[in-house]
Amino acid sequence: MAIDRRGLLLGAALGAGVLAATAARAQWGDPPTRATGDPDAPFWPPREHYPLWPNGVPGAPATLPTPNWTMNGPKGARELWIRGVPAPELHVFRPARPDGSALLSLPGGGYNFLSVQNEGIDVAQNFNARGTTVFVLTYRLPAEGWANRHLVPLQDAQRAMRLIRSRAREFRIDPARLGAVGFSAGGHLGADLATRYDERTYAPVDAADRLSARPAFAGLVYPVTSLRSRSPNSRSGMGLLGDNPSSAVIDARSPVLHVTGETPPCFLVHSLDDPVVPLENSLDWIAACRAAKVPVEAHLFAAGGHGYGLHLAESMPGSRWPDVFALWMRRNGG
């Protein structure tokens, strides 16, 4: 049965817990359906969303990025992309019957935009129906003027994990069952978080920063796991590091080099015909996890390409990955 995306999102928005702060409303403006008049646009942001940095965002440029929402793609498959993130936020999607599990969803976009509908809102819809509370992170885009650009997404992801855990009772989640799922560049960020969760990337802000940023488990969907060798079709390395990064910075932000026995269990999805992120990114991650004795499960599909999120045709085996991931979560901390 087809899902009424707009109806589900409206219901989630009307049923969410609290109104966002006035400043956050001013930042993000009206939902795209009103701002653009596009009937395909989702309701965004959800009613419940929170800024990550209450006392100013680290490394902010003199002129903050201007929010820029656009609908992209062919008719019938258009989706919301976000550019211009002046202040990163957590967007909360609560299930009708929460079971205590939680996911931090990290959309992709080559660190040049955020595919917030395909790899955020739609993830929330799917996993809310399974009882999982989902937090969609609009992290900062490194090229938008931030200092220490190679650390910017990881700063936001670490802070997000700590904030969620600090408010676990309010969100009705078990902080020990909080995992992450990332897609493409968001998969790189998820892998970076899974291996560098305790790297000191920012000065502590409040009591939340005494909590762990380690995800209980990590789902990595067509992920970038190394920046040593950039695919000609992938923009993630350039988007994160800029021109002429040092070899030390490249290695620091190549998560596959930092897998240890403390890395959480990992679940991978990749298609052999991916034209953007080579399959070797996942194969190398599997090998690193096995060497470190980290539990790992991988689903490699013959066809699917890249950037499909949860929207492969039902006739394709890869369309079932969310079901398998949901089962795997329950066996690995979710």
- What are the structural domain ranges in the chain? 43-331
**Which pLDDT belongs to residue 104?**
98
> What tens digit of pLDDT does each residue of 92-115 get?
999 999 999 999 999 999 999 999
Q: Is the pLDDT of residue 18 over 60?
A: no
Under the banding of pLDDT at 50, 70 and 90, the label for residue 22 is very low
* CATH fold for domain 43-331: Rossmann fold (3.40.50)
Under the banding of pLDDT at 50, 70 and 90, the label for residue 37 is low
Percentage above 90 pLDDT, the chain: 79
Under the banding of pLDDT at 50, 70 and 90, the label for residue 161 is very high
Strands (E), 153-206: 178-183
Q: How far apart are CA 64 and CA 139, in angstroms?
A: 14
> What tens digit of pLDDT does each residue of 109-126 get?
999 999 999 999 999 999
> What tens digit of pLDDT does each residue of 39-60 get?
778 889 998 999 999 999 999 9
Average pLDDT over residues 68-72: 91
**Which pLDDT belongs to residue 272?**
97
> What tens digit of pLDDT does each residue of 191-250 get?
999 999 999 999 999 999 999 999 999 999 999 999 997 666 578 999 999 989 999 999
DSSP secondary structure, 56-121, as one string: --TT--SSPPPPEEEEESSTTS-EEEEE--SS-EEEEE--SS--S-EEEEE--STTTSB-TIIIII
> What tens digit of pLDDT does each residue of 259-313 get?
999 999 999 999 999 999 999 999 999 999 999 999 999 999 999 999 999 999 9
Q: Is the peptide bond before 45 cis (omega within 30 degrees of 0)?
A: yes
Give the chain's radius of gyration (CA, Å). 18
Q: What's the chain's average pLDDT?
A: 89
151 close to 119: Cβ distance less than 8 angstroms: no
Q: How far apart are CA 307 and CA 119, in angstroms?
A: 8
Q: Is the pLDDT of residue 90 over 50?
A: yes
Q: How far apart are CA 313 and CA 222, in angstroms?
A: 17
Residue recorded with tokens 């920046």: 227
